[in-house]
A and B are shown apart, each in its own frame.
Chain A
Amino acid sequence: MLQLRCPWCGPRDEVEFRYRGDASVSRPAGDASLAEFSAFVYARRNPCGWHREWWLHHAGCRMVFQVERHTLTHEVRGGDPP
């Protein structure tokens, strides 16, 4: 069981949260190429190691926030407002 630290509610169990994906991707500017937009929507680094990601405090304050989590050890650090 993971324990995530919600910036508003503090540490809570995994079951209260919903995963919202990789937080390292950012939307390119409006005049970016098709390849850049396609990479934004589909391509992921998917690292085996530290991963910055979005979580939604679904069963709590419903804040969306970022944490860093290790994808092999499941160790978590951070919990900062976006």
Chain B
Amino acid sequence: MKAQADLSRPARYSAWRLFREALRGHRGWPRAWRKATPRSGYQVVIVGGGGHGLATAYYLASRHGIRDVAVLERGPIGLGNVGRNTTLVRSNYFHPDNIRFYDFSLRLWEGIERELNFNAMVSQRGTLNLFHTEAQRDLFTRRANAMRLLGVDAEAVDRAGVRALAPLVDLDHGRYPVLGGFLQRRGGTVRHDAVAWGYARAASAAGVDIIEDCEVVGLRAGGSGLDGVETTRGFIGADQVCLAVAGHSSRLAAMAGLALPLESHVLQAFVTESIKPVLDCVVTYGAGHFYVSQSDKGGLVFGGPIDGYNSYGQRGTLPTAEEVAAAGLTMMPALARLRVLRQWGGVMDMSMDGSPIISRTPIDNLVLNGGWCYGGFKAIPAGGWCTAHLLAHGSSHPLAAHLRLDRFAEGRTVDERGIGPWPYLH
């Protein structure tokens, strides 16, 4: 009964509190967030209780004083893409607009634990991109220079440096020898579940209603836009509706009659059995699509490219799994000794230029946060920050002005890879 009395009052987490609860058998911890039941209407209804939806709600309440906010999630919090990614954070992009945006995100990550009073296990262990040809070295050098011009850390690493950072890498592979690497020391990993829980807890404490098991089944049109959303728990009115539903953006937008510049694709991820520490930075392979890091639990978490054709199935097919494993073994032959424990898939909303969308839409009071491709996790704090700004002020945050939906029609695409409107290639 004691725990129930505490339910409405979120307790601050601290070492002292942990010590006290340890002595009391951990019976005094309240729930991290209120289980809200939907009211008839809100100022802002956010569809999607993933990282971006929760972060948007948190910054709306904490930075803009808008607390009349509901976050609707069709299942429990944390089971969507925010719990399915490979937990990497970095800001090593090429386009200046993208560098600024993602580095703002990285700076928010650096203070996220104090901000949310939640241990998100932020670990800036470094992100190392390997290169195998001189052309690739030049490309990475250009990217590193673009970053450094904007005051973002990036450095070149030679073969000895790669060996010191990641001893398991096969430097002298017969076909793809490693010439060096491109390192961002501030990159690293963040515990993804803790990000969802931390934002949910902080948003709830700030007055936001987090409504789980509440699937949106329709958007009700009104006089000048939308009146609200139809859900499995009834109609909920809204002055503004924000979609933050990742791979399902197209489905939700279709309910409002919009076709978005998106395709949904499956991205797989893998984790091996736990072993002693062997890898203390994030490494990406340059001669194939493969990246790997070691989780704090000891498993090697890795992934590769999307499967390559439209899919809403949260599972991958074997050819891509095989391709990822082959790239991994070429880069780090020692991985062959490990067994893969789990493999899973998440549905990505791949945009036509490979960059995200934080934007107003042709429907007056409908705002879209989507198109994150496979870079959504690292962008959670900045994405939430800029989406909250857009909802509060009606205009784009300066850091996200290049992410508007009308950039496609106006020919201002932000094509990070330079390969045009082919989402399955990005």
A50 to chain B, nearest CB (A): 11
A2 lies within 8 A of B310 (CB)? no
Given contacts A14-B317, A71-B313, A72-B313, contact A22 B263 (CB under 8 A): yes
B319 lies within 8 A of A53 (CB)? no
Does B311 belong to the interface (CB within 8 Å)?
yes
Given contacts A1-B317, A1-B318, A74-B311, contact A44 B424 (CB under 8 A): no
B422 lies within 8 A of A21 (CB)? yes
8 Å CB interface, B400-415 against A:
408-409
B310 to chain A, nearest CB (A): 5
B311 to chain A, nearest CB (A): 5
B240 to chain A, nearest CB (A): 23
Does B260 belong to the interface (CB within 8 Å)?
yes
Given contacts A45-B254, A46-B250, A74-B313, contact A38 B259 (CB under 8 A): no
Contacts of B352 in A (CB 8 A): 41-42
Question: Which residue of the partner chain A has the closest CB to B322?
Answer: A15
Chain B: number of interface residues, binned into ranges: 20 to 34
Chain B facing A: main interface SS = mixed
Contacts of A34 in B (CB 8 A): 409
Does A32 belong to the interface (CB within 8 Å)?
no
A45 lies within 8 A of B259 (CB)? yes
Given contacts A19-B424, A41-B421, A71-B264, contact A46 B317 (CB under 8 A): no
Contacts of B254 in A (CB 8 A): 45, 47
Q: Return the CB mask of B298-341 against A: 1 if under 8 Å, else 0.
A: 00000000001111110001110000000000000000000000
Does B30 belong to the interface (CB within 8 Å)?
no
Question: Which residue of the partner chain B has the closest CB to A14?
Answer: B319
